[in-house]
Amino acid sequence: MTKEKMSGKQRVLSGVQPSGSLTIGNYLGALRQWVEEQYRYESYFCVVDMHAITVPHDPAQLAEKTREVAALYIACGIDPDEATIFVQSHIPAHAELAWILNCVTPVGWLNRMTQFKEKAARQQQESVSTGLFDYPVLMAADILLYQAHRVPVGDDQRQHLELTRDIAQRFNHLYGQTFVIPEAMIRGTAARVMGLDDPTKKMSKSETDSQYHAVYLLDSPDLARKKIMRAKTDSGKDIRFSDDPERAGVNNLLQIFEVLSGMESREAIEAHFEGKGYGHLKSEVADLVLETLAPIQERYRKIQNEPGYLDSILARGAERAGAIAEKTLREVQKRVGFLPRQ
Ligand code: TYM
């Protein structure tokens, strides 16, 4: 009997690219949800290193960042005894399933992906890789291999999740019921944390133009506070939630405050800041962010100081994840008509 059947729990899968240092955007949009929901689901969290090579990258840094991201999963509160933590490239089935899914995914579907267009626009046209274009199919493979019911992500992954569902449905239609159709889990607040230096742009771990763009999970308290105190706001005074693009900076700070303070309503938060200035808002947000980062950094340092610990988690994770992935892959190979190896 599979673990899922024994536990009766639905499955969750999600991942982060080791393409930079994790930001509070990654934490608020994704990791915090993973931690909160990990005991309700049978959880799989992977470090998607194969996705990280779809844009130019530094090979000397990739392995290091892969370990850093995995350690941060645990430092943020993922329980490695409960959830399966693994590295995508350790499981060859991801690439193998991606190939098969490529063959059921119309090019027109990939042409619609806005994240590809944005990322491609930042590079020389001739150097944009086929891998970057195909990135969403590999992501579909990540999810479908584990028959995940739920995928907790930030708002920027919504379109990729829709595509994953379309690919799964098409495969099921062509070859018979094979894949669970996954659903995105996207929070209402802080699902798209904006850049502190420019609140019209999503906060991103791969942004390198400005040192005041993002708070990283491993930033020192002083640096994190400085970045928040410098966050771009507007010339107004009112501290209110708002969809007005002019007021995106304040709205962004308020959303971070909402999630981290746990205050029950937006009215209560607005009342809390009544008559106070933006400087006050920033300083309260900084206090909450620092309170959040302190235990994460402490656990991170402990993990770093325990030789072999992380490697053993990743080895066990690869074993558990590999068993499930292999099973799905065999089923898919059979359905498309590949001759089984004797
Ligand atoms: P990545 O590495 O860009 O981001 C990891 C997670 O963090 C969320 N996120 C944000 N949430 C709120 N505000 C932000 N500013 C912000 N920036 C990032 C992302 O939505 C994501 O949940 N394609 C994925 C990685 C991936 C994946 C998967 C995710 C590969 N395979 C399978 C889920 C399932 C990505 O690039 O995430």
158 alpha carbon – ligand 1 mean position (Å): 10
Domain locations in the chain as residue ranges: 3-187+306-336, 221-301
| Ligand 1: nearest atom to the Cα of 156 | 20
| Nearest CA, atom 5, ligand 1 | 16
Position 35 scores a pLDDT of 98
Count of Cβ atoms closer than 10 Å to residue 240 Cβ: 15
User: Which of 47, 48, 198 best tests ligand 1's pocket when mutated (most atoms within 8 Å of CB)?
Assistant: 48
Report the distance separating Cα 293 and Cα 211, nearest Å: 18
Q: Which residue has the tokens 């062509």?
A: 174
Report the distance separating Cα 338 and Cα 342, nearest Å: 12
Report the distance separating Cα 323 and Cα 121, nearest Å: 39
Position 6 scores a pLDDT of 57
Report the distance separating Cα 240 and Cα 186, nearest Å: 23
Options 2.60.40.10, 3.20.20.70, 1.10.240.10, 3.30.1540.20; CATH of 221-301: 1.10.240.10
Burial 43-59 (b: 16+ CB within 10 A, else e): bbbbbbbbbbbbbebee
Per-residue pLDDT of the chain (342 residues; tens, 9 = 90+): 444 555 789 999 999 999 999 999 999 999 999 999 999 999 999 999 999 999 999 999 999 999 999 999 999 999 999 999 999 999 999 999 999 999 999 999 999 999 999 998 888 888 899 999 999 999 999 999 999 999 999 999 999 999 999 999 999 999 999 999 999 999 999 999 999 999 999 999 988 788 999 999 999 999 999 999 999 999 999 999 999 999 999 999 999 999 999 998 999 999 999 999 999 999 999 999 999 999 999 999 999 999 899 999 999 999 999 999 999 999 999 999 999 988
Q: Which residue has the tokens 């359905």?
A: 335
Non-local (6+) Cβ contacts of 43 within 8 A are 11, 12, 13, 34, 37, 78, 82, 83, 84
Whether the full predicted model's pTM is greater than 0.85, yes or no, is yes
| Nearest CA, atom 22, ligand 1 | 153
User: Which of 47, 87, 156, 260 best tests ligand 1's pocket when mutated (most atoms within 8 Å of CB)?
Assistant: 156
Report the distance separating Cα 16 and Cα 90, nearest Å: 15
219 alpha carbon – ligand 1 mean position (Å): 20
Instruction: Supply the residues annotated as catalytic.
Output: 119, 202, 205
Non-local (6+) Cβ contacts of 224 within 8 A are 215, 216, 286, 289, 290, 293
Ligand 1 pocket, residues with Cβ under 6 angstroms:
13-17, 25-26, 28-30, 48, 51, 139, 142-143, 151, 153-154, 156-157, 160, 191-193, 202-203
Fold of 3-187+306-336: Rossmann fold (3.40.50)
| Ligand 1: nearest atom to the Cα of 154 | 20
| Nearest CA, atom 1, ligand 1 | 16
